[in-house]
Amino acid sequence: MTMLIGVDWGGTKIEALAMRADGTEIVRIRENTPAGDYEACVKMVAELALAVEARAGEPGMIGIGIPGSLDPRTGVAKGCNSTWLLGHHVEQDVVAALGGRPVRMENDADCLASSEAIDGAGAGKRVVFAVILGTGNGAGIAIDGRPHHGPNNSAGEWGHSPLPYPDLTEIPGPPCYCGKHGCQETWTSGTGFQNDFARHSGRHVRAADIMELYRSGDRMARLIYQRYLDRLARGLSVVANTLDPDIFVLGGGMSNVDELYHHLPEKIGDHTFSPVFYTPVVRAKHGDSSGVRGAAWLWKERH
């Protein structure tokens, strides 16, 4: 089998890709996610996978990244920020929509980590910790190019750890969809960045526009960025203390903030137990295409 098909099932878009086993892309299709409609999402995932296969003109094996994970015993979706997936047998339903075709299904952040470890920014590194700084926060761990899961299929659920070293103004923290307060995601996702600006300025502004205000010297934007940077550094310092990965790879919308790569490594080092911090912090090589490439690689790495 020389062709691989990947589907990145996201909260705002669903993207499908056909590529060769050497990573050469053949065709790509992207559609807006029918948010809140589980059956429509399943249908779209199957249709897009079959559409890229048809355009490529040959059969392929299908890998799918989802915004959550599957219970390793029951197969039921858990931990999904696209909450309409929760409680469903997602892999089983997609297989049925594909007429019984086999699929490989993993967490989208695991797909990001695997993609960047195989032929992206983390290529050649043994332990890659890949972080999604998007609508939510997710993370994936790839070891020797393979996603690491753990017995609960929960490895890398960094976004739902509490913010480390909180001050009194950060306790208990904003409510999270998971039912807790003050999760890392509520602070350092792109949504968290925007919400923090809105709380202090009264203005609802896109993250990219906040950064433009920062670059123009806006005092409030500078304050909010500095708080964001410190919170992100605190969160990643705990990963450095426990896992000490060979590289941090950032994906998602906030990974496009160039300033992070200048400021973040030193800030992480300020919070680690070790007096030195040499770990590279880099942008995902494949950008927002990394997740769909990682999904395509799922069959290859298991095969």
Domain ranges of the chain: 3-108, 121-284
Average pLDDT, the chain: 94
Domain range 121-284, CATH class:
alpha beta
- The pTM score is 0.92
Give per-residue pLDDT as tens, 147-195.
998 999 999 999 999 999 999 999 999 999 889 999 999 999 999 999 9
Query: What is the predicted pLDDT for the residue at 1?
Result: 54
Give per-residue pLDDT as tens, 202-213.
999 999 999 999
For the domain with range 3-108, which CATH number is right: 3.40.630.30, 3.30.420.40, 3.10.450.50, 3.30.300.30? 3.30.420.40
Q: Which residues touch 300 (CB under 8 Å, ≥6 apart)?
A: 4, 21
| Percentage of residues in the chain having pLDDT higher than 90 | 88
Cβ(253)–Cβ(207) under 8 Å? yes
- Does 303 have pLDDT greater than 50? no
**What average pLDDT score do residues 21-27 get?**
93
CA distance 156 to 251: 14
- Does 101 have pLDDT greater than 60? yes
pLDDT band (50, 70, 90) for residue 289: confident
CA distance 129 to 279: 11
**What average pLDDT score do residues 274-282 get?**
98
**What average pLDDT score do residues 268-281 get?**
98
